[in-house]
Amino acid sequence: MRVIAPLLALCSLSLLSLNALAAPVPGLYQVRETVGSQHAAERLLVLQQALDTLVLRLTGDPEASLRPELLALREAPQRLVSRYVYDGNTLVVDFDPATTGAALREAGLSLWGADRPELLVWWMTETPDGAQLVGDAQDSASLLQKAAQHRGLPLRLPLADLTEQMMITPDVLMAHDAQELRKASQRYGVDALLAVQAKPARGNWQGRWQVWLGKDLLQGEATGNSLAALGDAVMLAVQQKLAPRFVVRPETGAAVTLVVDHADLLRYAELERLLEPFHPRLRKVEGARLTYRLQASPDQLRAQLALLRLREVPPPVRLASDPAQPGAALAQAYSDNALYFQ
C-alpha cells in the first residue's frame, strides 16, 4: 500500500503546540561509576558494575543481571562500550545503544525505551531548623539530578520560590488526593508528580515518597546514609515501580490495530519513535488518520500513548455493509481488536 503521498500531505498541516511531552532520556546509555584507581583489574570490575546499572536502568528488574544469558556479556562488557574516560574518581562509560539493545534483547530481556514520563519532583527536606522544598537553583538540586540520571529518569524540579514554599506544607505534600499539589504543578506541565518527604533518622536519612501517574498512586519508603544516597534510593524505587508499566514484552502481546485521528507531521514522528518497540506497521493513511498494526498489550500501549497526551475515544459505530452508504467500507476495515485515539 502506498502511503508516501498522504504522509507528504501531513507536512502541510500546522504543527500542534505540545507541552512537556515525554522525550528521549538524555544520556540513557551513559553510566558514571566511582573508582578507587585506574588499574586494569578494577576497571573491569567497574565496567561490569556499569553494565549492571544500565541493565537495571533498561529493565527495572534487579534480578536481570543475574540471568545466565548475561554471563558472557558481563565477562567482557567492553564489547558493548563505545568509549570510557576517567573524570577524577569517576569512570564515565558510554555504551553503544544499538549494540547493547540488540545484545540484551537476544539474551531474552524486555527493555524500557528512552521515552519516559517526566517527573516533577517536590522534594521536601525536614531538619530541626524547619522544612524546605528543593528548587532547581539550589545546591542540593544537583544531587537529585545525578540520582535521576543514574536511574534513567527524566527529572524536573520546581522553582521552590516563596509562594511554593508557603503553599506546599508536609500535609499537602503527602496527601493522598494531591489536589493542592496538582494545582501548584499546573505551571510546569509534566507527565507525573513525585513527592518526597526526607528527614534525618538515627544517623541516616529516611524518605517517604508518592508518585501520581495519571490517576494512579504509587508509594513507598527509602533510606540512605546521606542525602545523596537517599536520593538514589528513592529514584531506584520509583524506577522499579514505573518500569513494569512501560517495559515492552512483545511475546506477551497480541496483534492490535491502532487508529490515531487528528494526526500531523509532529505526531507522526513521535508515534514512530514511541511505537518502535512494538514493531509497528503503518497500514493506512487517510487525511489526518493513521492506522497501525502492531504487537502489544493494550494496557501497555495505553501507557505509552498517554505520554503523548493522546485521548482514547470509543470505536466508531459499525455501519451496514452497503457500499453506497458513506463510511461503510471504512467502518468495516477496522478490527474489533482495535484501539482508537485522538
Give residue-wise pLDDT tens across range 155-206.
Answer: 999 999 999 999 999 999 999 999 999 999 999 988 899 999 999 999 999 9
Say what angle helices 265-275 and 298-306 make with each other, to 10 degrees. 130
* Per-residue model confidence (pLDDT) at position 245: 87
What DSSP assignment string belongs to 35-53? -S---HHHHHHHHHHHHHH
Beta strands 204-213; 216-224: pairing state: antiparallel
CB 107 within 8 A of CB 73: yes
Q: What distance in Å separates the CA atoms of residue 148 and residue 195, rounded to the nearest whole number? A: 14
Nearest Cα to Cα of residue 163 among 187, 139, 179: 187
Query: In the prediction, which pLDDT does 28 show?
Result: 95
Q: What is the DSSP letter of 134?
A: P
322 or 54, greater pLDDT: 54
Which DSSP string corresponds to 80-93?
GEEEEEEETTEEEE
Tell me the per-residue pLDDT of 42-51, one tens digit each, with 9 for 90 and over.
999 999 999 9
- Looking at domain 115-246, its CATH architecture is 2-Layer Sandwich (3.30)
CA dist 15 and 220 (Å) reads 40
311-339 mean pLDDT: 63
Domain ranges within the chain, ordered by starting residue:
4-19+250-341, 29-106, 115-246
Q: Is 98 helix (H, G, I), strand (E, B) or coil?
A: helix
Cell numbers representing residue 303 in the block: 501507557
Q: Is 33 helix (H, G, I), strand (E, B) or coil?
A: strand
Neighbours of 212 (CB within 10 A): 20
Give ∠ CA 94-95-96 in degrees, rounded to 5: 120
SS3 of residue 127 by DSSP: strand
Closest CA to 151 of 48, 236, 87: 236
* Global model pTM greater than 0.85: no
Whether residue 7 is predicted with pLDDT greater than 80 in this model: the reply is: no
